[in-house]
């Protein structure tokens, strides 16, 4: 598979994923518009817990499916892993319902235990179609994959709009109708969770052809081999979720007592601004969709390491552009999340920190191919465990003193550590000629551009948004465009030969 094919599949995985994530982001913005930070807190909390449960329920089988599909009969592998995941999903779901009370209390959702019930069912349905979706990716069927994802998110949005813009007005008008009965004000932001649950259940129906190809065939020997490869990935997954989500899960628990009353408010604000790193997060996710099977397939070819190094360089350059789009236009993002509730803008300054942290995470994902290809998953697990320890310690130490600023820096330092350690270990066991100095230079340059831009704005424009004039906005966005243009000029100048080799756009650099 060539870079051109990888790029094409990234587009097929990417455009629907981008559309889906932006629609999802729009849904989040709607939530921030409909509810203040205290009202949006349960949404932030539930969606901080779901990724932990997803890692537990899937236990690394998606990556294992790609890995073993290179050396084993794919149909037998598909059947075995499907049976495994169906059995464990049913078992774990029953256990969660048995211990739902303690779980509800631990995540501090006692006022809305029904949210926890819906959350469990979301994880149940999402887990069941993990292997069928992986099969679509392995068979290089991105169009079907795109259709499933886009349909799911559109259905999700339509249900949300129905509840808040059809059922709610009917209820508020006092009408004694079926529509009015469908809306319960006490549920509040919970209808976002209900919509997700319905969309997840319907997605199973869209994959009926993949399920029809499934046969009750279980190869015990193959399953043991897969689990031996997979169990370190569970540790990696849990560590990754701790690093990404822990700050929001434990925020209320570690905040000092005198601030306990504002914990929900701060968590709602932090969760809203965390969403603004969405561009980089989206790109990392769509890249992984296409890149993971690509990396495994490419490993059998000569020159694979050079190909990985080239992909890393292009990946980092793309992330740098995204960082500039986000960090040089904070006024725009502030307007999106704080149009109705200005208090959401209080934490806008943490967005560049979280965005750079996301870049570090993306680089780590690229680097992690070394332990997956050399069957050293446990080494990768130790790297993730180290990151998780740093996350736990720093969140406990920094949140009580610096609140969401401390949580943001804990995320930044954790991902920086994982990136550096994974690079060092990877060069020992699977050396890849990454353009290390050049990539570090690019990351430093975009960071300096952001710092200089913020200094200029703080020095020459009014401190309060209400005092800004048309000239203020012209200066702000004009200077943003200048810095973006400077970085574009630098990349074109330095990477002209690399750009000429790219599919689709290379002809414009000749």
Q: How far apart are CA 507 and CA 361, in angstroms?
A: 32
Instruction: State pLDDT tens for residues 403-433.
Output: 888 888 998 999 999 999 989 988 888 888 8
Predicted local confidence at residue 78, as pLDDT: 85
Token representation of residue 93: 């779901």
CA dihedral sign, ordered 30, 34, 35, 40: negative
pLDDT band at 229 (very low <50, low <70, confident <90, very high): confident
Task: Give residues with Cβ within 8 angstroms of 342, minimum separation 6.
Answer: none
Provide the strand spans (E) within 135-294.
Answer: none
Instruction: State pLDDT tens for residues 285-302.
Output: 766 665 655 666 666 667
CA dihedral sign, ordered 340, 252, 46, 145: positive
**Mean of pLDDT over the chain:** 81
Q: What mean pLDDT is predicted for residues 260-283? A: 72
| Continuous segment of H or E residues that includes residue 431 | none
- Burial (CB < 10 A; 0-12, 13-18, 19+), residue 172, is exposed
Instruction: State pLDDT tens for residues 430-444.
Output: 888 888 999 999 999
Q: How far apart are CA 296 and CA 315, in angstroms?
A: 18
Helix (H, G, I), strand (E, B) or coil at 185: coil
CB-CB neighbours of 74 under 10 Å = 14
Predicted local confidence at residue 291, as pLDDT: 61
Token representation of residue 467: 């005092």
Q: What mean pLDDT is predicted for residues 245-262? A: 65
Token representation of residue 272: 């809203």
- Burial (CB < 10 A; 0-12, 13-18, 19+), residue 361, is buried
Domain boundaries defined on the chain: 3-504
Q: What is the pTM of this model?
A: 0.71
Q: What mean pLDDT is predicted for residues 112-137? A: 89
Best CA proximity match to 137, nearest among 124, 146, 127, 128: 146
């Amino acid at each position: 598979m060539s870079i051109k094919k990888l790029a094409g599949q990234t587009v097929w995985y990417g455009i629907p994923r981008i559309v889906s994530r932006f629609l999802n982001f729009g849904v989040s913005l709607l939530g921030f518009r409909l509810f203040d930070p205290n009202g949006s807190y349960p949404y932030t909390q539930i969606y901080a817990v779901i990724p932990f449960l997803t890692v537990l329920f899937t236990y690394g089988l998606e990556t294992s499916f790609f890995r073993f599909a290179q050396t084993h009969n794919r149909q037998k592998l598909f059947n075995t892993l499907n049976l495994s995941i169906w059995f464990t999903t049913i078992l774990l779901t029953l256990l969660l319902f048995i211990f739902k009370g303690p779980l509800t209390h631990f995540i501090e959702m006692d006022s809305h235990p029904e949210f926890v019930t819906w959350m469990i069912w979301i994880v149940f349905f999402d887990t069941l179609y993990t292997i069928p979706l992986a099969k679509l990716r392995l068979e290089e069927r991105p169009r079907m994959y795109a259709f499933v994802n886009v349909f799911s998110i559109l259905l999700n949005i339509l249900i949300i709009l129905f509840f808040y813009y059809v059922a709610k007005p009917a209820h508020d008008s006092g009408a004694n109708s079926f529509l009015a009965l469908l809306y319960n004000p006490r549920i509040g932001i919970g209808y976002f969770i209900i919509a997700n649950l319905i969309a997840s259940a319907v997605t199973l129906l869209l994959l009926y052809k993949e399920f029809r190809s499934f046969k009750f065939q279980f190869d015990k020997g193959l399953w043991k081999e897969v689990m031996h490869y997979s169990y370190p990935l569970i540790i990696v997954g849990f560590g990754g979720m701790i690093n990404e989500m822990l700050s929001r899960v434990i925020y209320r628990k570690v905040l000092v007592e005198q601030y306990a009353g504002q914990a929900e408010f701060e968590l709602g604000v932090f969760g809203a601004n965390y969403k603004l790193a969405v561009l980089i997060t989206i790109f990392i996710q769509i890249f992984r969709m296409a890149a993971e099977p690509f990396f495994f397939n490419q490993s059998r070819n000569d020159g694979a390491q050079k190909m990985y190094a080239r992909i890393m360089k292009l990946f980092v350059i793309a992330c740098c552009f995204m960082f500039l789009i986000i960090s040089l236009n904070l006024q725009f993002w502030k307007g999106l999340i704080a149009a109705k509730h200005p208090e959401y803008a209080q934490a806008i300054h943490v967005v560049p920190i979280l965005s750079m942290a996301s870049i570090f995470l993306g680089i780590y994902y690229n680097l992690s191919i070394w332990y997956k290809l050399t069957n050293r998953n446990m080494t990768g697990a130790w790297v993730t465990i180290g990151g998780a320890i740093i996350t736990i310690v720093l969140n406990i130490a920094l949140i009580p003193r610096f609140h969401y600023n401390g949580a943001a820096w804990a995320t930044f330092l954790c991902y920086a550590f994982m990136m550096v350690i994974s690079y060092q270990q990877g060069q020992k066991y699977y050396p890849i000629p990454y353009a290390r100095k050049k990539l570090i230079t690019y990351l430093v340059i975009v960071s300096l551009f952001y710092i200089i831009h913020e200094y200029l704005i703080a020095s020459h424009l009014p401190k309060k948004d209400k005092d800004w004039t048309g000239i203020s906005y012209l200066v702000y966005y004009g200077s943003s465009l200048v810095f973006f243009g400077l970085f574009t000029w630098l990349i074109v100048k330095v990477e002209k030969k690399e750009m000429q080799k790219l599919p689709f756009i290379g002809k414009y650099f000749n």
